[in-house]
Amino acid sequence: FTCHASSLPCPQINRWMAQLASDHPDLCTLETVGKSYEGRPMNLLTVGKGGADKPGIFIDGGIHAREWISPATVTFLVNQLVTNSSAHDDLLSSVNFYFMPVINPDGYDYSFTDDRLWRKTRSEPASPGGCSGADANRNWDFHWMEAGTSNDSCVDNYGGSAPFSEVEMQVVRDQLTRLRNTTKVYLTFHSYGQKWMYPWGYTAALPEDWQDLDRLARDAVGALKAVHGTRYQVGSSTRTIYAASGGSDDWAKGVAGIKYCYTVELRDLGTHYFTLPPSLIIPSGQETFAALKVIANFVKKTY
Ligand code: 0X9
Ligand code: ZN
């Protein structure tokens, strides 16, 4: 087969999604929804069979280049849902899953080819003498540049030259905007630290409905822990990790109006930090899938 809708670089994950979608046309819709700064196709895979009106869960990964367990876990979730679909028949009839496994594809590739610990995008410096790339999770237009971010392009948490200066985040923003009316949950996977966090990241104040978000997160991490005993901490991102504004989670809640928004810091707790051994990919996927099932069942029964 040829790479989906593109003669541009066709990395493994896109190739795999194209094959999966063509093997399971009853369940999968694959769309190329944009391209990265360096021209890599950005794909959205919709999984579900209840039709476009059903409530949805939007899931992305790979916003930070070096957090490799994120795309690995998101692709595991996709694979479970699609290749073991008969086990999840009821969920797939009543919930749509929208997946974008690698939303910073240039940075992700660069972390394989040049710098394993690269975090940012790979856009050219906005001004002479600057450095390449911005922190894609400081680049969203909600309290942009207020906290936990920098205007020095040479540091890892550089917020970008303007809100949504990074084209990849424009692409994700446009999909979240298009799907906002049906999307009830937004999940964005990072590493590391084993935390299931909800807004806000720009302030220590909590959203007025924080107890709803807290309850669902606790149910999810309970199911996660039951699989391999892995413990996750639950709380608002400011209170759990640090204050940082311009994140996708805050935008999804504060601007797109999606109620249940979570940033998930996957394994581990710092033993292997970003360089998690490959043997932990499947355990991470298995336990995260258990958490996703709790969330999907909640969406099914609530909406
Ligand atoms: O700093 C981040 O973007 C995330 N942590 S990481 O170590 N993966 O870089 C946490 C983001 C939490 N959400 C917000 N601050 N909005
Ligand atoms: Zn991250």
Convert the pLDDT of each residue in 207-231 to its tens digit.
Answer: 999 999 999 999 999 999 999 999 9
Please report the pLDDT score of residue 9 as a whole number.
55
Q: Answer yes or no: is the C-beta of 121 below 6 A from any ligand 1 atom.
A: no
CATH number at residue 136: 3.40.630.10
What is the DSSP code (8-state) at residue 158?
B
Q: What pLDDT, on a 0 to 100 scale, did the predictor assign at position 10?
A: 63
Q: Please indicate whether residue 47 or residue 11 has the higher confidence score (pLDDT).
A: 47
- Between 2-16, 213-227, 252-266, 289-303, the lowest mean confidence (pLDDT) is in 2-16
In a domain, residue 7? The reply is no
User: Is the backbone peptide bond immediately before 268 cis, with ω within 30 degrees of 0?
Assistant: yes
Give the mean pLDDT of 5-10.
Answer: 53
Cβ of 250 below 6 Å from ligand 1: yes
Q: Which position has the token pair 């496994």?
A: 101
CA of 244 to the centre of ligand 1 (A): 7
CA distances from 129 to 49, 74, 123, 125 (A): 51, 36, 14, 8
Question: What is the structure's pLDDT at 11?
Answer: 79
| Tally of structural domains, the chain | 1
Q: Give the mean model confidence (pLDDT) for residues 133-142.
A: 98
The answer to whether residue 229 is domain-embedded is yes
Cis bond before residue 273 (omega within 30° of 0): no
Nearest CA to ligand 1 atom 12: 237
Residue 265 appears among annotated catalytic residues:
yes
Q: Complex ipTM above 0.90?
A: yes
| Structural domain boundaries, residue 142 | 12-302
Residue 21 Cα to ligand 2 middle (Å)? 28
Tokens of 223: 């199911």
Does residue 6 lie within any of the structural domains?
A: no
Residue 205 lies in a domain: yes
Question: How far apart are alpha carbons 270 and 262 in whole angstroms?
Answer: 21
Q: What angle do CA 20, 22, 24 make, to 5 degrees?
A: 70
The pLDDT of residue 1: 42
Over residues 225-278, the pLDDT tens digits come to: 999 999 999 999 999 999 999 999 999 999 999 999 999 999 999 999 999 999
pLDDT of residue 85: 87
Q: What length is written for the chain?
A: 303
Q: Is residue 1 in a domain? A: no
Q: Is residue 4 a part of any domain in this protein?
A: no
Which among 237, 258, 267 is the best mutation to test ligand 1's pocket, defined by most ligand atoms within 8 Å of the CB?
Answer: 237
Confidence band for 62, pLDDT divided at 50, 70 and 90: very high
In this prediction the pTM is 0.97
Give the mean model confidence (pLDDT) for residues 161-186: 98
- Residue 125 CA: distances (Å) to CA of 65, 130, 139, 157, 225: 18, 5, 15, 14, 43
Ligand 1 within 6 A of CB of 149: no
Hey, is 266 helix, strand or coil? strand
* Residue 137 lies inside a defined structural domain of this protein: yes
